[in-house]
Amino acid sequence: MELSRRTVIAGAAAAGVTAATVGGTAHATGGRKPVKTLFGKLADGTKVYRWSLENGGTRLKVLSWGGVVQSLEIPDRRGRYANVSAGFDNLEDYVAKTPYFGALIGRYGNRIGKGKFTLDGKNYQLSVNDGEQSLHGGTQGFDKRVWDVEPFVKGSDVGLHLYYTSVDGEMGYPGTLKTKVTYTLTRHGDWRIDYEATTDKATVVNLTSHVYWNLAGEGSGTIEDHELQIAASRYTPTDAGLIPTGELAKVAGTPFDFSRTKPIGRDIRTSHPQLVTAKGFDHNWVLDKGITARPEHVATLRDPASGRTLKIATNEPGLQFYSGNFLDGTLTGPSGRTYRQGDALCLETQHFPDSPNKPKFPSTVLRPGQTYRTTTIHTFGC
Ligand code: GLA
């Protein structure tokens, strides 16, 4: 957070729900320990908790269901807070009809063509849930799992460790995948995600976060006025099933050129075949920096009206920009307003879609003894 550096304990009570409060010990130099409340119960009685964190002027609420960012509040240039992430105010909607609102995505963010791939001479068939394709890990991806959550306060940082172990063969993927995701709010109000995973058999993995951003506040209408910059000269065009063709096409001279800041709505109605197929932007940008040892800046999103900005840094080689094309007015957010097409957008840091079937794309293979590690940092400003 580039303006405010206030540190206030997060509000504990979910609307209509009271539950045990965990933690609450103030730290001398940093944030307060995250606060836990009951958010709801699954059909089998499993309790789902909501954790509230606040640091450096950013307020974050996270569910143990799917590691979902249920709310992320930041101030505008006049200090007025808004929740800038789309979601729901109740667990039932997350379970029944979420389009991955705020969720952790695994084992494989984005699509794998026909849900098939071959690794070390063995053929694998994954759970298919998007026409012929496997999307975001299959019918029961990491977004539909209950994660073990451990809060922490470390120096001036506050955060959550989230753990999920995916058993060998789950959704068709080989290997027991032990996953640890750390959400950190820094004293500057940055939200950092560190992903880690290990396996006991060769497998593929591509973890990401599926927050739907609207910097004017969720429920406030279209994101077409938001300005976006993506540090990429190429993108991966797709076929009709949104599977990359394998080509790394130049963005120059096309609606896909966000190398210099432009409003999202400027070219979104261009009848470019790639925009028609995807009903808007739903593509992977090939980040110019490539894979890097440390997170580097790759995108800036800005809402000119409120002044709120989001900057993204990552060590990943790709960024999926999805302009909320499938939102159709049937889902209602916490504000009580519905989400229509283009009312929120996703910026998913990742390896490229369908990499297991594209030998020329950076590899997503993870082998026993290796540790998968990626980091994405969201910096907010106004
Ligand atoms: C990703 C995909 C989109 C869509 C959304 C969820 O961003 O690329 O095509 O499936 O998730 O609706």
pLDDT tens sequence across 28-86: 345 789 999 999 999 999 999 999 999 999 999 999 999 999 999 999 999 999 999 99
Scan for tokens 């058999």, then name that residue. 201
Q: What is the DSSP string of 300-318?
A: EEE-TTT--EEEEEESSSE
Q: pTM value?
A: 0.92
CB 20 within 8 Å of CB 12: no
How many beta carbons lie within 10 A of that of residue 362, not counting itself? 14
Ligand 1: distance of its center to the CA of 54 in Å? 29
Q: Residue 142, SS3?
A: helix
Name 210's bridge partners.
103
Scan for tokens 């500057």, then name that residue. 188
Return the beta strands (E) in 26-67 as ranges.
35-41, 47-55, 58-63
Closest CA to 62 of 155, 177, 152: 152
pLDDT band at 2 (very low <50, low <70, confident <90, very high): very low
Q: What is the DSSP string of 111-126?
A: EEGGGEEEETTEEEE-
Q: Residue 143's pLDDT is what?
A: 98
* Rounded mean pLDDT, 245-262: 98
Q: Residue 30's pLDDT is what?
A: 56
* Rounded mean pLDDT, 252-277: 98
Q: Residue 31's pLDDT is what?
A: 72
Is 170 catalytic? The answer is no
Please work out whether the CB of residue 346 comes within 6 Å of at least one atom of ligand 1.
yes
Please work out whether the CB of residue 209 comes within 6 Å of at least one atom of ligand 1.
no
Q: What is the spatial distance between Cα 322 and Cα 42, in angstroms, rounded to a whole number?
A: 29
Q: Residue 32's pLDDT is what?
A: 86
Q: What is the spatial distance between Cα 334 and Cα 336, in angstroms, rounded to a whole number?
A: 5
CB 208 within 8 Å of CB 348: yes
Instruction: Give the ligand 1 atom nearest the CA of 242.
Output: 9
Please work out whether the CB of residue 331 comes within 6 Å of at least one atom of ligand 1.
no
Pocket test for ligand 1, best of 104, 128, 135 (most atoms within 8 A of CB): 135
Token digits for 248? 């790394």
Q: Please calculate the CA angle 222-223-228 and round it to the nearest 5 degrees.
A: 165
pLDDT for 17 beyond 60: no
Average pLDDT, the chain: 93
210, 283, 351, 378: the active-site residue: 210
Ligand 1: distance of its center to the CA of 340 in Å? 15
Contacts of 13 (CB under 8 A, 6+ apart): 37
CB 83 within 8 Å of CB 71: yes
CATH architecture of 1-382: Distorted Sandwich (2.70)
pLDDT for 184 beyond 80: yes
